[in-house]
Amino acid sequence: MSNTEHRCGWVAMMGPPNAGKSTMLNAYLGQKVAIVTPKPQTTRNQVSGILSSPDSQVIFMDTPGIHQLRGKMNKILLQTAWHTLSGADVVLVVLDGSLYVDRPGAFDKDIEPLREAILNEKRPVIVAVNKVDKFRDKAKMLPLLEKLSTLWPNAEVFPVSAMRRDGLDPMLEYIKKHLPVCEKHYPEDQLSTVPVRFMASEVVREKLFMELRQELPYNCAVEIEKWDDTGERVFVNAVIYVSRKSHKSMVIGKHGQNLKKVGTEARKELQEMLHQKVHLELWVKVREGWTEDMSFMRLLGLSSS
């Protein structure tokens, strides 16, 4: 790349749930713009992160995991992911490489929904084999890399560890070389296209995922009802919607302990993010069957249309 060329473009981050797409996005930006939990299917919306340098501006688009689950909400998540792909200059597929050793059947199942779509892709395709730090025997990684190169001969394969930032720099240089030559689309100091109110709702939802067990967090949605920034303090009222009456008491917890812990952890993170004092109030409301209510999910921003 010559010194006079400035490259800028969009990179669609695709892959199965829990492959580490959001962790990779945060690692590239050096700070958190996408929530991360150990549970799959945490990301529900397309989240963009902007990485600017003197010679380039890379706009990463993190997407919900590609999966084969049913239900209207899962349909919306898939629509969001595939819609994001349509506007990208480079396709970045992120896979959990550790599954290849621990659960090879699960790995094959993960890549199946992506197989034909990526094989026929005409744009530059990168396959990031993530979590390679979990390979005790690095020699076992070679058959996996060979398998992916055979499966997707049109793709460049990179072994990486987003958690440890291993291998991310060479992959970034490859991404830059395949972006269009053009000026930047965003100011150099802008890190994300995500509105701060949306990020606040995501922080609350992340803490719900970390605090609540089993499937309950998947039936929760968060809406910011009030946002009042006085300059010295931000007053935030957030509503946690659950799909069943029985879930409300589970979210609140005995003597309100679950809700209190979620609120405390969310407030701490919001204060670090905003560099201001935050007064956060959480409410839990029942909206029966909201995960099958398309109009309500659109109000929550869970639709790409």
Over the stretch 1-16, which tens digit does the pLDDT of each residue have? 445 689 999 999 988 8
Judge whether 182 lies within some domain: no
Q: Which of 177, 209, 227 is the last residue of a domain?
A: 177
Annotated binding-site residue? 17: yes
Annotated binding-site residue? 229: no
Annotated binding-site residue? 96: no
Domain that includes residue 287, residue range:
196-299
Q: Are residues 31 and 140 in the same domain?
A: yes
Exposed, middle or buried: residue 163 (CB in 10 Å: 0-12, 13-18, 19+)?
Answer: middle
Structure confidence at residue 27 (pLDDT) = 95
Q: Are residues 92 and 228 in the same domain?
A: no
Annotated binding-site residue? 12: no
Annotated binding-site residue? 253: no
Annotated binding-site residue? 63: yes
291 vs 70 pLDDT, higher one = 291
Annotated binding-site residue? 15: yes
Total domains in the chain come to 2
Judge whether 106 lies within some domain: yes
Judge whether 66 lies within some domain: yes
Annotated binding-site residue? 22: yes
Poorest-pLDDT segment among 123-132, 163-172, 251-260, 287-296: 287-296
| Cβ neighbours for 220, distance < 8 A, ≥ 6 positions apart | 205, 208, 212, 240, 241, 242, 247, 251
Average pLDDT, the chain: 85
Q: Is 195 strand, coil or helix?
A: coil
Annotated binding-site residue? 42: no
What single DSSP character describes residue 189? T
Q: Hey, which residues does 62 pair with through a beta bridge? A: 13, 47
The pLDDT tens digits for 169-218 are 999 999 999 999 999 999 998 998 888 898 999 899 899 988 886 656 66
d(CA 62, CA 299): 21
Annotated binding-site residue? 256: no
Structure-block tokens of residue 166: 């291993």
Annotated binding-site residue? 217: no
Q: What is the pTM of this model?
A: 0.78
Place of tokens 């008491």: 249
Annotated binding-site residue? 64: yes
